Chain A
């Protein structure tokens, strides 16, 4: 609707690139599971997950071209994730 993705030739290029990046990251994530890193596996997977989320937000959701309002709305999603994690961990981190 605005920004650089206006014309039809390039409309699909960004999302397609982002999608292939996500698939590649998924493959790396799968591959890394076979490396004997111990607790390191979890760390690697979390890093990959963060990169995936960033690719999603910046390119697939096109937040780099979004208006402030759209960015605020999108960031509420992040805020809600904080609810989810904090309260879920209130269970897991305090189990006897």
Chain B
């Protein structure tokens, strides 16, 4: 296993053929093993599911404008928020950054011609599609009403909706994230270019490495707990049924043993993306690189030991509550280190406000708010009051939407010239970034407030006093919808009409920028050689301002 070599481009190849020109048929895409093309297949699929999940929550927000409901039955309402949760968590957020940007950029960042197992990579996309088709079946068969958490005994005994197909969809898509995780771990271990030592890895590569470990270690537990639900529902195996000696709380232990680390599966890649973006657009070396790495690793490990904070009112023992509360406070420390280090990276930087930076700054503020409100909820007495309220809803959306989706957008814009070879319309992108930030806050600040005042989640009938907050929140959601649709327009336009970007329009130092954009099939024309630590931005400074519009030839790692 220790000896692995993949071929770079043949040495006689002197003119770069872009990976996009290596075949134009549909089959050349569906049977590709090129990590860059698989990244694009993933990007298209998760975008489709993002908008399906978005329509579901659009209906929910519309329904909530009236305190008595106005176009949905309670049953329909349950199904709408459940499908939103299932799709957004497993078919968008979990694969979002790793399967798209991780796939595209990780091998290039470490100087590899592909991932370690290119065919496994393609298989993972097909597994995603199979899981996704179960979910589409669930949609067509009338949906599922358990909430995305599948808690028994409702899911195992009482629900009359498509629980088993939904669980199988999630089960299958889990294997696609395991495949991605195994692949990335092997890639980072085996395919680093000469000179790319562990402590020269860009932080995005580190985040992909850590998230891969979390995926591989956590996802099997989800698979198992969903199978047990199916076994109980289909065959009456008494596992979670208290009337025959089972324990419904056991499911919550198993489910959250995966699903809390899943929060880190969603946020660690986002941390990786913004680390790249802050360094590039502040023209600064990332402050405290080694601490950033240790913080990622600590979050990856300690993140596995805090799941019980989801069960403070579920009948868990007071001692366990105490332990999980304490550990949850601990895991905030490395996250705080990262926030301080990003801020210190900006300090005295030459900051540019291009769209990737705007999105990354949005991430920084919102991740901080999401993290701090998480500390409220890690405290047992506060959580007992706030459990299942909109405060919780607002908290985790601030992490997953304010955090992860902002970073996802930052990454899309940052690497867009790399992927397509084109520039996008900068001003349109800046507008979208600002609209997304404002829309986000308009949606979720009212939810924090009404949650604190006692508005429970998952109800569409509510006391009149909360209506003003719901209306504001729905207005924010409409603004968010516009902000999410805008990139489809200007990025789509850029694909065909955008200016040529040159190889390295941002003057970035990452290895992925030291090769043509869009890259050739095997990524590099010559095997790269790494001679320095990442983020050598001091040497370059804000070069692109001095040379006006002319793209800057990147220097930095590959010399």
Contact = CB atoms under 8 A, between A and B. Distances in A.
The answer to whether A binds B is yes
Interface of A: 1-2, 66-67, 69-70, 73, 76-77, 80, 83-84, 87-88, 90-92, 94-96
Given A67-B2, A73-B185, A83-B304, 10 more contacts: A1-B1, A70-B1, A76-B213, A83-B305, A87-B307, A88-B253, A91-B253, A91-B316, A94-B320, A95-B315
Interface in B278-322: 304-305, 307-308, 311, 315-320
A32 to B, nearest CB: 16
A91 to B, nearest CB: 4
Contacts, number: 49
User: Which of A73, A77, A80, A83 has the largest count of B CB atoms less than 10 A from its CB?
Assistant: A80
14 contacts: A1-B1, A67-B1, A67-B2, A73-B185, A80-B304, A88-B250, A90-B317, A91-B308, A91-B311, A91-B316, A91-B319, A91-B320, A95-B317, A96-B318
Given A83-B305, A84-B221, A87-B305, A2 B1 contact: yes
Interface of B: 1-2, 185, 189, 213, 217, 221, 249-250, 253, 257, 304-305, 307-308, 311, 315-320, 323-324
A94 B185 CA distance: 38
A87 B308 contact: yes
A80 B217 contact: yes
Contacts of A92: 317
Tell me what chain B mostly uses at the interface: helix, strand, loop, or mixed: helix
Given A2-B1, A80-B304, A87 B320 contact: yes
By Cβ-Cβ distance, the 5 closest A-B pairs, closest first, are A91-B320, A94-B319, A94-B317, A95-B317, A90-B320
Contacts of B213: 76
B323 A87 contact: yes
Nearest to A80: B217
B295 to A, nearest CB: 19
A88 B257 CA distance: 9
B192 to A, nearest CB: 14
Nearest to A91: B320
A76 B220 CA distance: 14
A96 B319 CA distance: 10
